[in-house]
Amino acid sequence: MQKHSIIDESHAFWDEVVLPLLAARFPAETAQMAAGVFGYGSEVLRLDDVYSADHHFGLRVNVLLPEELMNTRGAAIEDALAEGLPSAWRGRELREGYTRTKGVALGSLEHHLRSTIGLDAPPNSYSQWLSIPEEDVMHITAGEVWHDPSGRFSAVREALAGYYPEEVRLRRLAHWCRYFSGMGVYALKRALLRENELYASTTFARSLRWGVQMAFLLDRQYYPYDKWLATMFHRLPRMGARLAAIVEEAPKLSTSWERKLDLLHQMSDVLDQAMVEDGLIAPHPRYRVSATSGYRLLESAYAELIRKCPVEIRGVVPQWEQVHWEGFHSEFVAGVGLEDWRRMLLLEECE
């Protein structure tokens, strides 16, 4: 059962305050809106806790309009919301968002999609699927939508919730096999041989993340934004249990470098075995660990997987990291006063 969250209070706020106001003043526009809590923030996954409340937290309703309607009627709707919404409700302050009305974040549907998945409609080709940063899919599919008479936004959510086409999943899986093995395990072994702890630290952390990303792909679940990883990883139906001991021990400061490398080797075997079980790669004999290059097992899997991918996407590198959001965020920050920005960051002058 999902725990109580600010999302529940926001739903009541929408039903009792926001929807009646909008329906009375803008009935035609309200019929084309999508509204709920979605996008960014731990609350969209009901993972908000005591620490979530120290910034950008409070009652929140996300409202999307078709772009043309937002351009022609958005300002009038925002004016009405700014005038008609209370400053607090049931003891809750209204959340500051990326628009000028507290408690309600009004934006265009197309802009929301472009700033997260980089597209303004559901992907319709393998290449478009690969262009979406995986971490951003949840910013479309997570949360709740309470109002969407036109069904436009819900259609995008449903298309993405159906998960990757198998060809796309294999291409992403091949990508992480290559990175985990060739730029992870191999690189970590060389860093340790050269006593380069800075490189060892960065490549180890990346390797662990890449291995976990493969676990999500193998269980056909989207990899989340990193801050939600610990919770979401342990919910994986198959790979979570198989890799839990490795994922818990490996990052500990008390775990030696040699042990960290050995745990990544063990992770290689677990991931490889799952791919054999799933028929993604052929059964094979066990291999020895190289004294100079580590255990590059998953690069063997990479070679098998990439051959199964359609020719048109073999050379397409899957997008990852929040590149589309960063473009929007940069423009937003550039338009905010420095004092307001520092206040959002909880930066207070020392006495």
The DSSP H or E segment spanning 107 is: strand 104-108
The DSSP H or E segment spanning 130 is: helix 126-131
18 vs 332, residue with greater confidence? 18
The DSSP H or E segment spanning 93 is: strand 92-93
pLDDT at 96: 60
Task: Give percent above pLDDT 70 in the chain.
Answer: 94
Token pair in block for residue 156: 């995008």
Mean pLDDT of all residues in 271-275: 98
**pLDDT over 80 at 51, yes or no:** no
Residue 28 vs residues 77, 111, 229, 326: alpha-carbon distances, Å: 12, 21, 41, 33
pLDDT at 2: 46
Q: Are 99 and 115 contacting, i.e. CB atoms less than 8 angstroms apart? A: no
- The least confident of 34-38, 169-173, 222-226 is 222-226
pLDDT tens across 80-97, in order?
998 999 888 888 877 665
Cα separation, 279 vs 309, in Å, equals 14
pLDDT tens across 63-72, in order?
999 999 999 9
Mean pLDDT of all residues in 273-290: 97
**pLDDT over 70 at 109, yes or no:** yes
3-state secondary structure of 34: strand
pLDDT at 228: 84
Query: pLDDT tier at 57 (50, 70, 90 boundaries)?
Result: low
- The least confident of 96-110, 173-187, 208-222, 311-325 is 96-110
**pLDDT over 50 at 1, yes or no:** no
All residues at 6 or more sequence positions from 181 whose CB lies less than 8 Å from its CB, including other chains: 268, 295, 296, 297, 298, 299, 302
pLDDT tens across 300-346, in order?
999 999 999 999 999 999 988 778 878 877 888 888 888 888 887 87
Query: pLDDT tier at 46 (50, 70, 90 boundaries)?
Result: confident
pLDDT tens across 111-161, in order?
999 999 999 999 999 999 999 999 999 999 999 999 999 999 999 999 999
pLDDT at 13: 94
Query: pLDDT tier at 99 (50, 70, 90 boundaries)?
Result: low
Note the Cα 70 to chain centre separation in Å.
26
The DSSP H or E segment spanning 247 is: helix 239-249
Mean pLDDT of all residues in 162-182: 97
98-101 own/partner pairs: CB under 8 Å, 24+ apart: 98/332
- The least confident of 8-12, 93-97, 187-191 is 93-97
**pLDDT over 90 at 245, yes or no:** yes
95 vs 297, residue with greater confidence? 297
**In angstroms, how far is the first alpha carbon of the chain from the final one?**
46
| pTM for this model (two decimals) | 0.89
Task: Give percent above pLDDT 90 in the chain.
Answer: 73
